[in-house]
Chains A and B, each alone.
Chain A
């Protein structure tokens, strides 16, 4: 009986330890899987919520679009401008930046397409891909707009320059005084502001 009793004691201990070990291993596996799934779900859901929240909080207005007279010149037939200044005021609820600025003429042609990847030397764009390209100051990639009605917070003005001269306006894209243009400004989080205007030099 004593021999049997010892064997029973060892078996009982081993069984308990095995059961606890298996339970812990299985539990750890379940916990790990649940944590992983929850983390992935949280990340996806969080990203989605963040994108929506940012989109809702993003808002800006195009205060003014002008064609400075100093960069307009008359020709024998019409008047053209090589510069457009777009003033944007951030009245959203976050610090913002501009993703792209496009200018479309009345015929639907894309005259200017400047994005945050536009560099000062070789900016891309419908017209800007050829020749030396147009440029924008400040660069969209570096310009940020503070928010809120705080002291000194005023509209940020972007200057779009077309590398043209009066003689080139007959063959290349330029801002034609009297023509109708649509200016679209796309925010970092997807908000789109748009104005339509007739160029006046």
Chain B
């Protein structure tokens, strides 16, 4: 037990010392860490405050707006002769503080000459360069006149000091009196005032402020004797919540509407011209309708189709006429374009919109599309004028000894065959079907083509259908003429050489390639057994794009149809 007693005492002492040391170390470390965090927190606070102050300053600067007025009197300052007086009204959204006034000429050169700087801040050494000491705070909605602190600028010629000499400056040139604010903004006003006695200011919301004043001028001064201001409210006088304060238009209504109409010589906009135009000058009438008075411009984009090239031409920058009916304002632009047909022709359409500035905001109308003018009268032909009556499809056959055609074809027999089908010209111009037209059997194993052979054939005796020989396009004299709305029967034939009797007795080829030549590679009908095929007709035809134009060939694939041979 005695041995254990000292051991117990030693343990207690060691624990106390360790505890004390730990507390000391903890305290020191705690203090250091707390100090660091406090420093960091303080720094962050400073940064946040600086950021907030900077943002606030920028925001206040953006809301600052001062309206300046300037007039000339001769007996306000001492010494009294020829001084300018500046009236400042705070029409912005934040208080303003005027820190300096300075005068420049139209070239931007400083013409004010203060005792220490061109930037005037008040009297100096008892001399009235200015009659007030800047900075001058101007609360929101308050004018310096109501504060009794209009700023007088010494500008006379017979006294010293003078902030600037209007004999040298004002009388000979226009000067600008500028006000610098603590927010860093500069506001200016011209002096002498413009010779016009009325100014109109378009404000957001369509509001118009008209300021009128009467002046009396001499060689050295200009005095405003009276100023009157009248205000008209936008949105046609409507001021409730339906008024769009940004544009001045009524909410929910068409702010601006554009209508366009195109025509060419010999036609009118109302007649909706659709054909007979081979190219030339196209007039586009653009009408802009607005609910308030605006100064519109128009942006027009011609849209040609087919082979019509992009036309040249433009719209004027200002309307050629304007009318006012009640609260409707209408502006008309007359635009001209040179439209060409190109090789074939097509159509021309115009798309456009109007732009106007209202109350400082840009307003754009919805896009509008004009009527379409056909150039070259080929709009239908570009998509195909022929209409197929597939129910009229027939086929004919006969033996190699000639004879009447029968409606039954038997495979592996030596025979000729012909097919017929009716087509109708649904276009608006006469066409000529060319020798290149053919009937095609789209078989999986073998494609078979049967070329056109001309008009109605006769199958008796030695007569047979023939396509009148031709070379090239009309009017060289070939093809089957189909008038507008007319229906013709086209015949296509196999070209298998057949010992069918003919006047020459040398064989008989018809329906050969291109309808007028011997081409042994064309389809052989006797290779066709009892089967079903898909048939289609590729019609080639020619048309004259215009009265003075050359003939142009087109191709139209008529819809396919099914045939079954027994």
Residues of A within 8 A of B (CB): 1, 5, 8-9, 12, 15-16, 19-20, 23-24, 27, 30-31, 34-35, 38, 41-42, 45-46, 49, 52-53, 56-57, 59-61, 63-69, 85, 87, 89, 91, 93, 148-155, 157, 197, 200-201
Contacts and interface: CB of A to CB of B under 8 A. Distances in A.
A143 B122 CA distance: 23
B183 A27 contact: no
A93 to B, nearest CB: 6
A89 B47 contact: no
A16 B99 CA distance: 74
A22 B240 CA distance: 85
Contacts of A20: 17, 21
21 contacts: A16-B14, A20-B17, A31-B28, A38-B32, A38-B36, A45-B39, A49-B43, A49-B44, A49-B46, A56-B47, A61-B185, A66-B104, A68-B109, A89-B180, A89-B184, A149-B97, A149-B135, A155-B180, A157-B117, A157-B118, A197-B108
B39 A87 contact: no
A200 B107 CA distance: 6
Contact of B29 (A9, A30, A68): A30
Task: Point out which of A34, A67, A154 has the most chain B C-beta atoms below 10 A from its C-beta.
Answer: A154
Given A19-B17, A35-B32, A52-B50, A155 B109 contact: no
A154 B43 contact: no
B21 A27 contact: yes
Contact of B104 (A64, A154, A155, A201): A64
A155 B110 CA distance: 13
A32 B109 CA distance: 64
B18 interface: yes
Given A56-B47, A89-B100, 8 more contacts: A8-B7, A19-B14, A63-B119, A66-B104, A66-B107, A152-B122, A154-B116, A154-B117
Contact of A30 (B25, B119, B120): B25
A56 B57 CA distance: 10
Interface residues of B, number: 55
Contact of A9 (B6, B119, B186): B6
Contacts of A87: 110, 118-119
Interface in B506-552: none
A102 to B, nearest CB: 20
B110 A1 contact: no
A91 B184 contact: yes
A12 B13 contact: yes
B327 interface: no
Contacts, number: 148
A65 B110 CA distance: 9
Contact of A57 (B2, B13, B54): B54
Interface in B52-91: 53-54, 57
A64 B32 contact: no
A151 B13 contact: no
Contacts of A201: 107
Contacts of B99: 89, 149, 153-154
A65 B109 CA distance: 8
Contacts of A59: 54, 57, 184
Contacts of B121: 151-154
B10 interface: yes
B18 A19 contact: yes
Task: Point out which of A15, A30, A66, A201 has the most chain B C-beta atoms below 10 A from its C-beta.
Answer: A66
B102 interface: yes
B177 to A, nearest CB: 13
B10 A12 contact: yes
A179 to B, nearest CB: 14
Contacts of A24: 21
A110 B99 CA distance: 33
Interface in B1-55: 2, 6-7, 9-10, 13-14, 17-18, 21, 24-25, 28-29, 32-33, 35-36, 39-40, 43-44, 46-47, 50-51, 53-54
B186 A52 contact: no
Contacts of A34: 29, 32-33
Given A46-B39, A149-B135, A154-B100, A66 B54 contact: no
B133 interface: yes
A41 B18 contact: no
